[in-house]
Structure 1
Amino acid sequence: MAGFFGFFDYTKPGPGVPENEPPKSKFIVFFEVLARKFWKLCWLNILYFLVSLPILILLYFIIGNYIAPIIQSATKGAGNVKDIQSLQGFLMTAFGLTLLSGFMVFGIGPTTAGFTYIVRNFAREEHAWVTSDFFEHTKKNLKEGIISFITDLLVLWIFSVAIRFYSVQSLKYPSVGIIKYFLVFTLFIYFMMHIYIYPMMVTYNLKVRHIYKNAFIFTILKLPHTIGMFLLLATVWLLPFLLLFVTRFIPVLLLYPLIWVSIIGLAQNFYTNYIFGIYLNPQKENKEQLESQENTELSSDKDDDSHSKDSV
């Protein structure tokens, strides 16, 4: 006898989905997927962090050259030498881990491609093997990921040098400030393009220049939506960092290597799946719409038949 007096019988079919039930909103589906895939997302986040550790260490030393002087000047006169060193270590840890997690979201090459493939499938409610698919699609996108990462480093370096140069020049020549603000706006557009770059890399067989071109087109075409999504992702990204300064509980930063990057990636790919479905997969969208219309018509026909039978 299956189960125990009819209880705990997992061989019985479930109640299923009602025919006329309206589709759930993406917001609700996101939290359902997050709850259902929580532990897989945790493992994906940890795997992504560990495999990317050599790149993250390199980035930490690069970032340190920019952060350390700022922290040292900001903490002057904060107390005795021991207190200042303790505060500087705390701030370097907090800023360093937060910025490194931001790079993981922004993109750090082939490992980001492997990570994105998994969260893209989860956002589509499709199956993915976390470990094997991560390494498989890291290898598949090795060349594109390396080119994208090198491009990002060059762009960030060039823009940081140019913005600092024109910031100094604007003190002497205020009209030069226009160039500085234009560069900041351009860099902001470049940041927002990364919402689309890696999802497009793992979804379509495109060259890197075409990926960047399409990402720029999507950013401009859907600018209000892209800005909104970018600000939402940035807010979620900064929450553990802000929580640290409220609670002074430094282990809260462990959210970044444990789960937080996966949550952000899942939200990002829910959005990009929707955008790609409209503009790059129109046949799929039309097919789904036709299927939903046919289901509605069939259900209405069934209702008409039932009414006619009742009246006989």
Structure 2
Amino acid sequence: MYAAFFTESSLKKGSLSMGLFGNHYERAGSGIAKNAPKKKGIFRFFEIFGRKFWKLFELNLLYFLSFLPVIGAVALFFAVDSQLGTILAAACLVLFAVIIGPATAAHTKILKNFIMEKPTFLAHEFFHTFRTEFKHACIVGVLDCVLACCISAAFYVYPRLIEQTGSKMFYVLFAITLSIGVIALLMNFYIFPMLVSTNLSLKNVLKNSLALSVVALKTNIITILVLAAVIAVYVLVLMFVNIRYSMILLFLLPVMPASWLGLVITFQSYPVIQKYIINPYYEQRGEVNPELAQTVTDEEETVFEDRGGEEKPIEPAKKSGGKSSGGRSHKGKGKIIS
């Protein structure tokens, strides 16, 4: 479809280092094949993570903007010692519940583009998805916030009721509440990637997310273990490390680790959505999922062909007496490429 006459891929790492530190600075490598096989599993994850490392910082900063109402609510609650302060703090929390869903959808859309290796204009894509997915994502965000409040209340209320009454019924209710919380967490692994990738109704998105939380249980457990490990590191550092050093983690929250964790979740969940939701849809229509289709098919006419990985390395011309192999000298004219 196109040709790049001068590309960075035409220089291998090995030949570049030889050019800097050896005497083979004129040697060009064979390039990198356009359709070279992709890495799989954890190796592909870290390849994407390394390539998008600084972009993840920028994305985390954009996503962090949606948490400013929470910071404002805390500041107002403690700084304004009056009923007005409480009302303003509550208003900030309501604002957070409204915008966190669309912000998470936008965050997920960009992470999905990273995983699918699609070019993305970060800020434009973020705010565009925030607007287009606002309705359904807002509903999901509000439901998540309400559920989070209920589970937090359960952690506070049920242990005290058990201690006061000794009734085993409260153990059952507490266990049911925790189970609902875990299921909701697993569903969220799939809700937002499905919202930004399909045209399904919200009802079907929730239904499919519930099914995938059970069908892909092994994948979900791995995802939860990774999230738990990162969160545990944060908590342990804040609890047991000198406050002068542990506070550094709090100051890093605007740039990490939300996008890192989001990348783990999307990397794990989106292939499951492709396998069970997207691919079957195209198979029923006798079509191929465009995300899996080849960029250039056999039927397409190509003007230029990418020969990366097939070209023969170009050896430098042997020099003697300060002259090139052609016996000509080009003083002051620099290197001539013929």
Shorter-chain TM-score tier = 0.5 to 0.7
Per the TM alignment, residue 55 of structure 1 is displaced from its structure 2 partner at its CA by 3.4
Residue 28 of structure 1 pairs with residue 43 of structure 2: yes
Per the TM alignment, residue 234 of structure 1 is displaced from its structure 2 partner at its CA by 2.6
Alignment check: 8 A CA contact 1:109 1:148 kept: yes
Per the TM alignment, residue 18 of structure 1 is displaced from its structure 2 partner at its CA by 9.2
Partner of 1:205: 199
CA distance in structure 1 between the partners assigned to 2:183 and 2:74 by the alignment = 24
Partner of 1:235: 229
Per the TM alignment, residue 121 of structure 1 is displaced from its structure 2 partner at its CA by 0.5
Residue 179 of structure 1 pairs with residue 173 of structure 2: yes
Q: Which has the larger radius of gyration?
A: 2
Task: Tell me: CA distance 1:160–1:38, structure 2 relative to 1, closer, same or farther (3 Å).
Answer: closer
Alignment check: 8 A CA contact 2:190 2:273 kept: no
Residue 45 of structure 1 pairs with residue 60 of structure 2: yes
Give the root-mean-square deviation of aligned CA atoms: 3.8
- Which letter maps to 1:111? A
Task: Tell me: CA distance 1:222–1:246, structure 2 relative to 1, closer, same or farther (3 Å).
Answer: same
Pairs within 5 Å for 1:27-106? 27-50=42-65, 52-57=66-71, 60=74
Residue deviations 1:81-129, cap 9 Å, x none?
xxxxxxxxxxxxxxxxxxx9xx99xx92111111111111001111111
Partner of 2:241: 246
- Which letter maps to 1:138? F
SS of equivalent to 1:230: helix
- Which letter maps to 1:16? I
Partner of 1:259: 256
TM-score when scaled to structure 1? Answer: 0.67
Partner of 2:145: 153
Residue deviations 1:169-193, cap 9 Å, x none?
4342432012221221221211222
CA distance in structure 1 between the partners assigned to 2:270 and 2:180 by the alignment = 25
**Structure 2 spans left out of the alignment, 5+ residues:** 1-5, 8-15, 79-92, 299-338
SS of equivalent to 2:117: coil
- Point out which structure has higher relative CO (alpha carbons under 8 A, 6+ apart): 2
CA distance in structure 2 between the partners assigned to 1:145 and 1:58 by the alignment = 23
CA distance in structure 2 between the partners assigned to 1:125 and 1:260 by the alignment = 21
Percent identity of paired positions between Structure 1 and Structure 2: 28
SS of equivalent to 2:100: coil
Alignment check: 8 A CA contact 1:192 1:227 kept: no
Say which of 208, 222, 225 aligns to 1:214. 208
Alignment check: 8 A CA contact 2:106 2:127 kept: yes
Alignment check: 8 A CA contact 2:223 2:264 kept: no
Task: Tell me: CA distance 1:288–1:46, structure 2 relative to 1, closer, same or farther (3 Å).
Answer: closer
Partner of 1:135: 127
Larger helix percent: 1
Partner of 2:32: 16
Alignment check: 8 A CA contact 1:124 1:273 kept: no
Say which of 244, 259, 271 aligns to 1:274. 271
Partner of 2:101: 109
- Which letter maps to 1:194? N
CA distance in structure 2 between the partners assigned to 1:181 and 1:260 by the alignment = 30
Task: Tell me: CA distance 1:63–1:205, structure 2 relative to 1, closer, same or farther (3 Å).
Answer: farther
CA distance in structure 2 between the partners assigned to 1:163 and 1:203 by the alignment = 35
Alignment check: 8 A CA contact 1:237 1:264 kept: no
- Which letter maps to 2:70? L
TM-score when scaled to structure 2? Answer: 0.62
Q: In terms of mean alpha carbon deviation, does 53-62 or 231-240 score higher? A: 53-62
CA distance in structure 1 between the partners assigned to 2:294 and 2:53 by the alignment = 33
Alignment check: 8 A CA contact 1:237 1:260 kept: no
- Which letter maps to 1:41? L
Per the TM alignment, residue 136 of structure 1 is displaced from its structure 2 partner at its CA by 0.2
Task: Tell me: CA distance 1:155–1:202, structure 2 relative to 1, closer, same or farther (3 Å).
Answer: same
